[in-house]
């Protein structure tokens, strides 16, 4: 089974017909999954989680990003006294989603400086223990994990520790890029499409507009056909392939996702009843 969605629901104007407060409902009329990235910046209060559960259909699911303190991105003041407190707070946030059947996976996306080193392998073992009650996807951003001398061990480690694998399509621009590795390490695999903006991928110094252009990319038909081949390969290895378009700096993600859905000839059941026809006749 292949499911398609976007990273976040708040920045796709072509999907909305309701008030700004109803963006998630409108989004869930189109796609069965979404990446929840607010959890990266702060562990979300229960009222937010409960609201998002209420606003979505019964079989809608969230791919929840791990908090930045868990992944090693956090800079500045730490709101938690200990790492144990941080993990417990994060688990409490996840539990209502899991109990409602709306937690697809937890996405642990490590930063580009998280290299293939013994201490980092040990830290992933700790994450597995701390989040033992949840399905966890690992996404690397440093290519050392996939160098010829480490690739097989990396894949085997993910399998042995029951981690799902994140297969990425992204610009190949230095050590902070990983290649496409179409291997599922479990019965579920995540495919994240970051676009191919080679020149925008790295931050040149302290460019304030870098994040605005990093994911500025519009996949063409030939590129989407390549992604289709990757997903079909993965669907032979895993029972569920979750595909997320993250190329939305220029608003291309929703359009690309709809084109990809049409290419695969997939219809999603159980979407929100507010079906829109904004894309009708475009494909």
**Residue 277: inside a domain:** no
**Residue 169: inside a domain:** yes
**Residue 185: inside a domain:** yes
169 and 193 Cβ atoms separated by less than 8 Å: yes
Taking alpha carbons only, the member of 194, 187, 236 closest to residue 215 is 194
**Residue 173: inside a domain:** yes
Enter the pTM of the model. 0.91
Residue 58 structural domain: 2-264
**Residue 170: inside a domain:** yes
pLDDT tens-place string over residues 167-205: 999 988 888 889 999 999 999 999 999 989 877 667 655
257 and 6 Cβ atoms separated by less than 8 Å: yes
Backbone phi, psi, residue 58, to 5°: -60, -40
pLDDT tens-place string over residues 10-44: 888 888 777 778 899 999 999 999 999 999 999 99
Tokens (6 digits) for 87: 């993990």
Tokens (6 digits) for 12: 């796709």
Does the pLDDT at position 281 exceed 60?
A: no
- What per-residue confidence (pLDDT) applies to 205? 57
Give the C-alpha separation, 173 to 182, whole Å: 19
**CA-CA-CA-CA torsion for 186, 33, 211, 234, nearest 10 degrees?**
30
181 and 167 Cβ atoms separated by less than 8 Å: yes
Task: Write the burial class of residue 75 (CB in 10 Å: 0-12 exposed, 13-18 middle, 19+ buried).
Answer: exposed
Tokens (6 digits) for 19: 């008030």
Give the C-alpha separation, 121 to 115, whole Å: 9
CATH number at residue 204: 3.20.20.410
Total domain count, the chain: 1
**Residue 242: inside a domain:** yes
Run of H or E including 105: strand 103-109
256 compared with 280, residue with greater pLDDT: 256
- What per-residue confidence (pLDDT) applies to 151? 97
pLDDT tens-place string over residues 80-103: 999 999 999 999 999 999 999 999
| Mean pLDDT, rounded, of the chain | 91
User: SS3 of 234, please?
Assistant: helix
- What is the mean predicted confidence (pLDDT) over 117-131? 97
- What per-residue confidence (pLDDT) applies to 274? 62
**Residue 178: inside a domain:** yes
**Residue 163: inside a domain:** yes
């Amino acid at each position: 089974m292949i499911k398609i969605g976007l990273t976040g629901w708040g920045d796709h104007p072509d999907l909305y017909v309701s008030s700004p407060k109803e963006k998630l409902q409108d989004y869930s009329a189109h796609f069965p999954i979404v990446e929840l990235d607010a959890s990266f910046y702060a562990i979300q209060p229960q009222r937010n989680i409960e609201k998002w559960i209420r606003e979505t259909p019964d079989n809608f699911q969230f791919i929840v990003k791990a908090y930045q303190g868990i992944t090693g991105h956090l800079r500045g003041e730490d709101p938690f006294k200990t790492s144990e407190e941080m993990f417990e707070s994060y688990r409490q946030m996840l539990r209502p989603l899991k109990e409602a059947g709306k937690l697809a996976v937890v996405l642990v996306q490590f930063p580009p400086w998280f290299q293939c080193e013994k201490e980092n392998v040990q830290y992933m073992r700790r994450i597995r223990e701390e989040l033992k009650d949840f399905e966890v996807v690992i996404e690397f951003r440093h290519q050392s994990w996939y160098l010829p001398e480490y690739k097989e061990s990396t894949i085997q480690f993910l399998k042995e520790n029951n981690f799902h694998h994140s297969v990425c399509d992204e610009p190949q621009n230095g050590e902070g890029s990983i290649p496409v590795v179409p291997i599922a390490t479990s019965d579920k695999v995540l495919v994240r499409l970051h676009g191919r903006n080679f020149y925008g991928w790295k931050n040149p110094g302290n460019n304030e507009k870098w994040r605005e252009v990093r994911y500025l990319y519009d996949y063409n038909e030939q590129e989407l056909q390549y992604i289709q081949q990757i997903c079909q390969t993965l669907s032979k290895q895993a029972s569920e392939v979750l595909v997320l378009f993250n190329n939305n700096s220029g608003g291309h993600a929703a359009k690309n996702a709809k084109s990809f859905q049409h290419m695969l000839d997939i219809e999603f059941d159980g979407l929100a009843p507010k079906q829109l026809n904004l894309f009708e006749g475009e494909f």
